[in-house]
Amino acid sequence: MGDEGGNGGTIADGAEKGGIFFGWWTVLATAVISAWSWGTWGYGFGAYFKPLQAEFGWTRAQISAAYSLNKLEGGLEGPWGGVFTDRYGPRTVAVLGNFIAGLGLCLMFFLTSLWQYILIWGLVVSMGFNLGTIDPLEKALSDWFVRRRGKALGLGRVGLSLGGTFGPPFMTLLLILYGWRAAFLLAGILTWIICVPTTWFLVKPHRPEYYGLMPDGVTSGGGAVGCAAALIADGEEYARGVGEVEFTLRQAMRTKAFWILTGYEVLYSLFWASIGVHQIPHLTDMGIDPLAAATVLGFMVLMSAPGRVVGGFLCDRVPINSLRYVVIAGYSLQALGMFILINARAMWMVYLFTVLTGFGGGIGWTSRALLRGRFFGRKAFATIYGTIVMIALPATIIAPIYVGWVYDLTRSYAAAFTQSLILLLIVIGSFFFLKPPKPPDKVTKITDFL
């Protein structure tokens, strides 16, 4: 039998591989896809700064404009990408996204002007990876795990840490040896080879109840077999055991928690623009070799791997009312790391910054995704996140251009980094006011997510 999409559909075959709960294969797929995409696109962005600047003479603010268009595209794509993911399942959206990303990377080989760069990198590549890696994979993991969701998200996103560790140095090495055009072309081809088949074979379109299984691989308490509707009801009851109730998008938007999380997205995006885009240029301005600077960024991302695992471990064991304190702890470590970077005068201070920022960020990033699922449930997971991203859109566009503009004006990142630290402290403070929302007056069926 094939995958069925209706609430009363039959149980589909093929949800187990080799006796292993299929959700763990999705964790593996998330790790592989995250490693490649974030190594070449997310964290790898800073490695392309100076090669493009040297060839075309663009300013750092102009180069940062593609990063802003990436955020513009992500914000505009977020709601409809989330709706498509919740309606048609994460596999279809992720396969399409990764194909588009590979195409965009190949098109970078033919780059000749600023408008082409902004269009291809900021729109095509970013749309592909936004669709292919973030929302659908987190949606898939949140569908297949409830009590073990923190562990699944943490392990799945370890791949992001590994990609961020080895991706920037790998791309920098390709840029040095073969030039940026060949590096982009190879990255596009490898995206098709690695990400598309991995998604197709290891990510399912629906939650496990459609395949005769329960979340986390547990046994149905009601003993329901052969009918997806009965298992879906058992799955909802199982999730309620950890305080998780299914919200629609409209119901979520009526809660205080939704708007605190949206405010977090705005302010944290402003903070991260300093680190994610401008860290490598800042370190090279300090006199650090470009390859060594990319390695420093990679080490910071590597340190996020244990942070993700620890964050997931804590979130699976902390009551829903205390989840905010896990996030606060992680981002407090990041704030301390940022303060050290601003005042860094020696390499040991730079490495201390990477340890604190990476480990703390790993805790915060994993906790954020789990918190969203725990507060609002599984059925509208992708749509809710996509809507939050769209609302945060103006800040995410302005941030990287503003940081680049401050540098162009002052020839220093000190002022922009200090302002980013202040914003992160405000984020930390806002989480003290975050509490689980009250359950909606009416819990609708899982196909009603808007």
Per residue in 222-242, pLDDT (tens digit) is: 555 556 677 777 878 888 887
Dihedral sign from CA coordinates of 366, 379, 191, 270: negative
35, 163 contact by CB (below 8 A): yes
Amino acid at 273: A
Q: What angle do CA 240, 242, 243 make, to 5 degrees?
A: 60
User: Are 128 and 177 contacting, i.e. CB atoms less than 8 angstroms apart?
Assistant: no
- The share of the chain scoring above pLDDT 70, in percent, equals 87
Per-residue pLDDT at 17 exceeds 60: no
Residue 223 within any structural domain of the chain: no
Cα 377 from chain centre:
18
Q: Which own/partner pairs from 416-420 qualify as long-range (CB within 8 Å, at least 24 positions apart)?
A: 416/274, 416/278, 417/274, 417/282, 417/338, 417/341, 417/342, 418/342, 420/270, 420/271, 420/273, 420/274, 420/275, 420/338
Give the domain range for residue 193: 18-206+242-431
Q: What are phi and psi of 361, to 5 degrees?
A: -65, -40
CA distances to 52, 55, 85, 106 from 116, in Å: 13, 14, 29, 13
Least confident of 123-127, 227-231, 317-321: 227-231
pLDDT for 4 equals: 39
Task: Check: CB of residue 372 under 8 Å from CB of residue 364.
Answer: no
Of 23, 31, 231, residue with least CA distance to 140: 23
Helical axes 149-156 vs 158-178, angle rounded to 10°: 10
Is 2 within a domain?
no
Please tell me whether residue 448 adopts helix, strand or coil conformation.
coil
Work out the end-to-end distance of the chain between its first and last CA atoms, rounded to an integer number of angstroms. Answer: 29
Looking at mean pLDDT, say which of 63-77, 131-145, 410-424 comes out highest: 131-145
Helix or strand holding residue 17 (H, E): strand 16-17
| Residue 392 pLDDT exceeds 50 | yes
Residue 448 lies in a domain: no
Using the predicted structure, report yes or no on whether residue 14 has a pLDDT greater than 50: no
Highest mean pLDDT out of 74-83, 204-213, 341-350: 204-213
- Sequence-distant (6+) residues with CB within 8 A of 402 are 273, 416
Mean pLDDT of the region 395-401: 73
pLDDT computed for residue 10 by the predictor? 38
The yes-or-no verdict on residue 221 having pLDDT over 80 is no
Q: Are 256 and 449 in contact (CB under 8 A)?
A: no
7 vs 197, residue with greater confidence: 197
Instruction: Kindly report the backbone phi and psi dihedral angles of residue 48, in degrees, each rounded to the nearest multiple of 5, phi listed first.
Output: -90, -10
In a domain, residue 438? The reply is: no
Residue type, 45: F
- Specify the CATH number for the domain of residue 91: 1.20.1250.20
- Predicted local confidence at residue 3, as pLDDT: 42
Report the number of secondary-structure helices (H) and strands (E) in the chain: 19, 2
Provide the H-helix boundaries in 247-322: 249-253, 256-285, 290-317
Is 60 exceeded by the pLDDT of residue 15? no
Q: Would residue 136 count as lying in a domain? A: yes
C-beta of residue 201 within 8 angstroms of C-beta of residue 94: no
Task: Name the least confident of 80-94, 182-196, 337-351.
Answer: 337-351
Specify if 234 maps to a domain.
no
More confident call, 97 vs 121: 97
SS3 assignment, position 20: strand
SS3 content of the chain, % helix, strand, coil (to 5): 80, 0, 20
Q: Among the listed ranges 1-15, 163-177, 275-289, 362-376, which one has the minimum average pLDDT value?
A: 1-15
Instruction: With respect to residue 189, please indicate whether it lies within any of the assigned structural domains.
Output: yes
> Residue 436 gets which letter from DSSP?
P
Q: Is 11's pLDDT higher than 60? A: no
Listed ranges 136-145, 295-304, 440-449; the one with the highest mean pLDDT: 136-145
Identity of residue 405:
W
Residue 359 pLDDT level (bands cut at 50, 70, 90): very high
pLDDT number for residue 5: 39
Q: What percent of the chain has pLDDT over 90?
A: 15
pLDDT at res. 1: 36
Lowest mean pLDDT among 94-98, 162-166, 243-247: 162-166
Count: domains in the chain: 1
3-class secondary structure, 252: helix
> Has residue 71 got a pLDDT over 70?
no
- Cα–Cα distance, 122 to 321 (Å, whole number): 39
Q: Say how far residue 442 (Cα) sits from the centre of its chain.
A: 31
Q: Is residue 228 part of a domain?
A: no
Say what the pLDDT of residue 197 is.
93
Which of 21-35, 62-76, 259-273 tops mean pLDDT? Answer: 21-35
C-alpha to C-alpha distance for 421 and 427, rounded to whole angstroms: 10
Average model confidence (pLDDT) for the chain?
A: 81
Question: How much is the CA Rg of the chain, to the nearest whole Å?
Answer: 21
Which pair of structure tokens corresponds to residue 395? 């800040």
